Each structure stands twice: as C-alpha cells, then as structure tokens.
Amino acid sequence: MTPEATPPPVAGFRFAGVEAGIKKRGGPDVAVIVADEVVACAGVFTTNLVVAAPVVQSRAVLAESARARAVVVNSGNANACTGETGTGDAAEMAARTATALGCAPRDIQVCSTGVIGAPLPMDKVRAGIDAAMAAARPDGLAAFARAIMTTDTRPKVRFAQATMGGGTVTAAGACKGAGMIHPNMATMLGFVVTDAHVAEADLVPIWRRVCGRTFNAISVDGDTSTNDTALCLASGRASGSPLRGADLDALEALLEQVAGELARDIVRDAEGATKLVALTIRGAASEADARLAASTVATSPLVKTAIHGEDPNWGRLVAAAGRSGARLDPARITVRIGDVTIFSENRWHGPEAEKAANAVMKTPEFGITLDLGLGAHAHTVFTCDFSADYVRINADYRS
C-alpha cells in the first residue's frame, strides 16, 4: 500500500487518537488500541538499561502471559527517569483503561514517548484516556498514528492482506519515530494488529523474528531510547482455520511486509534526512560479523555525511567496516553503490565509476553493498544521511 492509502478495518479492533494538552506545541497526544476481548499479544522492547516506567510494566505482564485487551499511549512525555511517581502513573494509566473496559489492569499495555525526566501531567492523561476510549472506532487507525507522533513530520500507517488457513488475513499497523533510532531498539513505538487466528505460543517467536528484520534493522543516528516498544496483537477473527505449519510462515511474511514498510517509513522521515539507503553487508564469515559491519557502516557520521553530499567516498565505507570488529580482508572487499562497482580486488575503479555512483546517490533511495568475500552471511540495515537539519532539530528539541 502507499502511505496515503486508507487501511481496512481489522476485525476485533478499534482505535482512537485525541488531544489532551500534553504536548507543548499542541496536537493529538493520547491514543488507544482496543480489542473486543483479550487477545494474543507479543512484544519486543528496548534493551537500554535506562528503562521507562511503562516499559518495565508492560514487559513484565507480557512475560507472565502473552495476552492483552488494549494498548494506551501518550506522546509528549516519556515517563522515564521519574522514580516511584512514574511507576504509579504507568499503573494508573493501565487501571483507568481497564476500568473502562471491565478487564484487569494487567491486560493493558502502556506506552509513553517524549521528553525524558518530566512527570506526567496526570490530570490531562486521565481526561485523554477517557476521551480516547469514547472515540475508539474500527476506522480510527490514522487518528491513532497522528496521536503517537513526536518529532515525526507525518503519520506512518501501513496494511496488507494475504490468503492463509483457508481465509483472508488482514494486518495493519502504525508507528512513530524519526530520531534516536538504532537497533535493539530505537526511539520508536510500533504497533501491528491482525485478525489472524494464531496461538500465543506461535505469535511470540514470529514477532521477535519479524522485529529482528524490520524495526531492529534500521538506524538514523546510532542512539537508542528508554521507551522503545513494538507490539503485535492478533484477534483471531479472520475466516478460516487456526494457522499451523506453512500458514504460520505466511503470517510471518505478512507481518514482516507491514512492519518492514513501517520501519522504512521511519528512516524516510528521519530527522533532517534526504536519503533512504539500504546498506547491505554480504559475504561475511558469520551472521554476527555481517551485523557488526552493517551497524558500524550504517551509523558512521563520515559515511552519513558523504551520503548527504552525494559523495561516493568508498574509502569511508571500507574504513568503517574495518573498525567494526568483523573479520575482513581488504583485498577481498567489493563496494557497490547501486549497481556500480566502485572498488574491488583492492583497486579503485576510477573517475568514470565514481561519476556513475554519484548519479545513483542523487536519487532519494538507493543501495550500498559491501561484499566481504569471506562467507555466505548477509545483513541489511536501512539508514539515512546526516544533514544540518538533524543538528537543528535536536538542538532545539526541549527549547
């Protein structure tokens, strides 16, 4: 789907986003996803050791039972580094949402995003939750997406459908994120819902693998956050039989399609960015080496500024790979920008190759490949350029 397309309803879910006055600059800032009943839910969370109160709470309840009835989100305030007060506020957000639904607070996933360190304005949060619960509707995903934004310039919504289990399965999702983006995880909140009839025990590993190839395979600036959360909820309302065997593979592919499009939308909307680049390491001796090299090259400030300047500076690429800790032999490395080979067999291919590579880099989306020539392992990270606007946006974030 295109980002402008309207997602179809996903059976068993309602959504809303409302303005509660939490954001200094105004706009919707409280959002909910409401399931008709308690459903299967899988989550992947930040690995940062400084963890926001809603992450601590939501991660703990999912570890006990991979189920949820609703998700409540506020933007404009991270509720991170807020001590016992923040813990209590996250618990109150769950309890208030649960009361409206007549379920247990443990069935509510709580997410927050925004400035770290400030206490939540709970009077506004309470009113926002009440308003969002009253406004929730099957076609409210776009409103939800707008309400979770912080430095995003546009809402991010995607959907897809596929046949499996003898019926049609729909998946739709929304996410936010534009800065502090790097694997494991990033400053992002991501939510995908599906009507697939899938067991909790199957959904959890599927979602972890999907996140590993999507939300955990993007990088804007090398920073990760205190609040990162990616949730997948499955209502089981699709026609057809419960998914097993090859149908579970089909579900994984469907979820990866939606999550992958959302992840790339984050990089497209990266703070100050003008380029989306698929940075691929091939020919690595191990998967770990492929990931090490891809992460290091994708986050190198020198590489990212060269991308912004449309400069095919292959020396920065191989130098970054060389300091990554991955095994490599410079004589075996091949560097391609788009389909242009600019370096191989320890030799620069000259000004004509550089001119052709520069033409590729003038396009808004392209690929860079480093083949290490040592094995069969590969990994791709979607990254972007660094511009002066990135500095401006982050310098002015709290002012």
Instruction: State how far the Cα of 353 lies from the Cα of 365, in Å rounded to an integer.
Output: 19
Average pLDDT, the chain: 92
pLDDT tens, residue by residue, 264-277: 898 888 777 888 99
Percent with pLDDT over 90 in the chain = 78
Q: Where in the chain is the domain with CATH 3.10.20.340?
A: 276-395
Q: Where in the chain is the domain with CATH 3.60.70.12?
A: 13-268
What region, left, alpha or beta, does residue 114 occupy, with left being phi > 0 and alpha being psi -120 to 50 degrees? left
Q: Identify the CA nearest to 275 among candidates 304, 296, 314.
A: 304
**Residue 213: count of CB within 10 angstroms of its CB:** 15
Per-residue pLDDT band for 399 (boundaries 50, 70, 90) equals very low
Pair of tokens at residue 299: 């986050």
Estimate to the nearest angstrom the gap between the alpha carbon of 77 and the chain centroid. 19
pLDDT of residue 186: 47
Per-residue pLDDT band for 228 (boundaries 50, 70, 90) equals confident
The H or E element spanning position 8 is none
Instruction: State how far the Cα of 334 lies from the Cα of 349, in Å rounded to an integer.
Output: 11
pLDDT at residue 215 is higher than 60: yes
Q: Identify the CA nearest to 326 among candidates 347, 345, 367, 298.
A: 298
Is 99 known to be catalytic?
no
* pTM (predicted TM-score): 0.85
Distances (CA, A) of 321 to 90, 367, 385: 42, 16, 17
pLDDT tens, residue by residue, 120-163: 999 999 999 999 999 999 999 999 999 999 888 889 999 999 99
Question: Which class would CATH give 276-395?
Answer: alpha beta
**Residue 49: count of CB within 10 angstroms of its CB:** 6
Catalytic residue among 113, 187, 224, 296: 187
pLDDT of residue 216: 87
pLDDT at residue 337 is higher than 60: yes
The fourth-level CATH superfamily of domain 13-268 is: L-amino peptidase D-ALA esterase/amidase (3.60.70.12)
R_g of the chain, CA atoms, integer Å: 22
pLDDT tens, residue by residue, 291-335: 999 989 998 989 999 999 999 999 999 999 999 999 999 999 999
Distances (CA, A) of 223 to 178, 179, 180: 11, 8, 5
